[in-house]
């Protein structure tokens, strides 16, 4: 991968110097995982940061016998940074939702790179603050109706990872249970709302290509209470 494409694909590296990009590309390791394969395990010590080159993953936590999906990440995002920054075991595990291609950079070399490039260090802090704001926003939605919460979840996935197509903004056909967990609603509520959104023409589901087309973004935004 060329440094320009590397910088464009991963927002974290937008502000990194050319020397930093060359260095990161030279030390990055590529991994391929099939759908449903665990990428990282909870309680394992962090030894690398991972970057999603293509595909979709879910971040989940075990709560007793239950497993709760906390977040869904797509192309251009990263994970594993918290365990290496505070040198503690991972608090979540990560599982591939689709076939996924990842790049990893060892913890030691990534920390060295952050110290060497202050712009990269600052950019990483910005993105981590952005994640915190998104978590706060989800918390603010806790008392809202299930349809509002699910509409906001779909819009966020489209904004962060969606690909434009003639049908609209395309995201992965995320399992209903995972969508429900992230939206903080029941699985049966998520299934019912998705069916209603499909019936009203706001979304289209393509199971063969494993895609959800967000067809009428403005109507979804109105449902989500954004406009």
Residue 74 CB partners (closer than 8 Å, separation 6+): 52, 55, 56, 157, 160, 161, 171, 172
pLDDT above 90 as % of the chain: 64
Q: How far apart are CA 86 and CA 81, in angstroms?
A: 9
Per residue in 112-156, pLDDT (tens digit) is: 898 889 999 899 889 989 988 988 888 888 889 999 999 999 999
Domains detected in the chain: 3-139 (2.60.120.10), 144-223 (1.10.10.10)
Q: How do residues 37-96 score in pLDDT, each as one tens digit?
A: 998 765 566 688 999 999 999 999 887 888 999 999 999 999 988 767 766 656 678 999
The Cα 20–Cα 42 span in angstroms is 30
pTM of this structure: 0.90
């Amino acid at each position: 991968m060329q440094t320009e494409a590397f910088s464009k694909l991963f927002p974290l590296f937008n502000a990194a110097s050319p020397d930093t990009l060359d260095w990161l590309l030279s030390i990055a390791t590529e991994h391929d995982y099939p759908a449903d394969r665990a990428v990282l395990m909870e309680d394992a010590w962090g030894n690398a940061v991972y970057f999603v080159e293509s595909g979709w993953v879910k971040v989940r936590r075990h709560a007793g016998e239950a497993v709760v999906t906390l977040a869904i990440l797509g192309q251009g995002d990263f994970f594993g940074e918290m365990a290496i920054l505070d040198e503690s075991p991972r608090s979540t595990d990560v599982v591939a939702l689709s076939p996924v291609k990842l790049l990893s950079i060892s913890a030691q070399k990534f920390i060295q790179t952050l110290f060497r490039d202050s712009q990269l260090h600052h950019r990483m802090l910005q993105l981590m603050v952005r994640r915190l704001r998104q978590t706060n926003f989800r918390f603010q939605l806790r008392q809202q109706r299930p349809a509002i919460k699910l509409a906001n979840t779909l819009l966020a996935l489209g904004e962060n990872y969606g690909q434009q197509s003639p049908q609209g903004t395309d995201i992965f056909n995320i399992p209903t249970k995972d969508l429900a967990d992230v939206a903080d609603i029941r699985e049966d509520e998520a299934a019912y709302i998705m069916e209603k959104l499909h019936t009203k023409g706001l979304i289209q589901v393509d199971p063969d290509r494993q895609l959800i087309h967000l067809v009428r973004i403005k109507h979804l935004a109105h449902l989500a209470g954004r406009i």
